[in-house]
Homo-oligomer: A and B are copies of this chain.
Amino acid sequence: MKKILNNPENFVTEMLDGLLKAHPDQLTYTEDIHCIVRTDSPIEGKVALATGGGSGHLPVFLGYVGKGMLDGCAVGDVFASPGAEQMLWVTQRIHGGAGVVYIYGNYGGDVMNFDMATEMAEFEDIEVRTVLVKDDVASAPPEEAERRRGVVGMVFAFKIAGAKADRGGSLDEVVAVTEKALANIRTMGVALSPCTVPMAGKPTFSIGEDEMEIGMGIHGEPGMKREKLQSADEISERMTTAILDDLQPQEGDRLAVMVNGLGATPPEELYIIYRKVHELLAKRGLSVYRAYVGEYATSMEMAGASLTFFRLDDEMIELLDYPARTPFFTQI
């Protein structure tokens, strides 16, 4: 896969420079360009929300910094965690006196660095709480759910936490509602082609013309299994079943559904998937309250898609419907 690049070493810095030039009304940075925060931060009295992680996943992570969602983001290199110091800078800048919640994916590097940042922030009397996203059912069986990685389901967590914080929720309330949301969110995905880390210059894995990876990671790491490429309907059914088996919803439950493209898969194909998913849910007596079809968390130019279900109740619906505006996500 060919890329439009300058020196690969400057990939992230140039990307951020372009992003700040394109959205000067919404985003700025603190200390270092790799520490993105809202222009209106800190917001006094509001619980501040931060995330962080490797680059190469736009709109994840920093694309959700904005009104009704996150306050700041520590930006790592491609597929690499940001450092603890960066996280501390973001934390200091967005803290509005009501505490900070870190919401991010369950990856070793990120966990270690956010833990280091937490220790440093608490040293400065900033109260920090962590909510880890572990939504990928493909990454570990239910009995080892704690080991699961966090993928695109985090976008729903950002949305719910952001709405709760914007409406004046306390630190405890924001943490509780985000954990409740995540307890009801599951994702499963398939990859059809690999992606290329600009500095590596070659694809992360290679895969045959008629094969697919089941349960790939959003960093291009191989999935659990490699299989023959299936039809859109088969893939949709497979993902739907895997999630429902894990989430165990009741007939009559309302869901938010997200069909996420990993990068190279066109929106047309995502809607073909959505069609089948909608049909399968209807058969089980499950209704779709809101559908999100598009690119919400990518792996550069990887082809493939993931499916996320979020079981809703009235509280979740109110927060999901709450307006938001970021450079990549606008809901009215």
Which residues does chain B contribute within 8 Å of A293, judged by CB atoms?
18-19, 22
Interface residues of A, dominant DSSP:
mixed
Scoring A2, A209, A330 by chain B CB atoms within 10 A of each residue's CB, the highest score goes to A2
CB A177 to nearest CB in B, in angstroms, measures 25
The residue on B at minimum CB distance from A190 is B4
Which residues does chain B contribute within 8 Å of A232, judged by CB atoms?
4-6, 14
Bound-complex Cα distance A274 to B22 (A): 7
The residue on B at minimum CB distance from A192 is B2
Which residues does chain B contribute within 8 Å of A268, judged by CB atoms?
11-12, 15, 55-56, 58, 300
Bound-complex Cα distance A163 to B295 (A): 27
B272 touches A11 (CB 8 A): yes
State which of A87-95, A152-160, A258-266 sits at the interface with chain B. Answer: A258-266
A298 touches B267 (CB 8 A): yes
Is A255 close to B, CB under 8 A? Answer: no
Which residues does chain B contribute within 8 Å of A55, judged by CB atoms?
268
- A-side residues, CB < 8 A to B, are 1-6, 11-12, 14-19, 21-23, 55-56, 58-59, 63, 192-193, 209, 212, 229, 231-233, 235, 263-276, 278, 288, 291, 293-295, 298, 300-301, 303-305, 323, 325, 328, 330-332
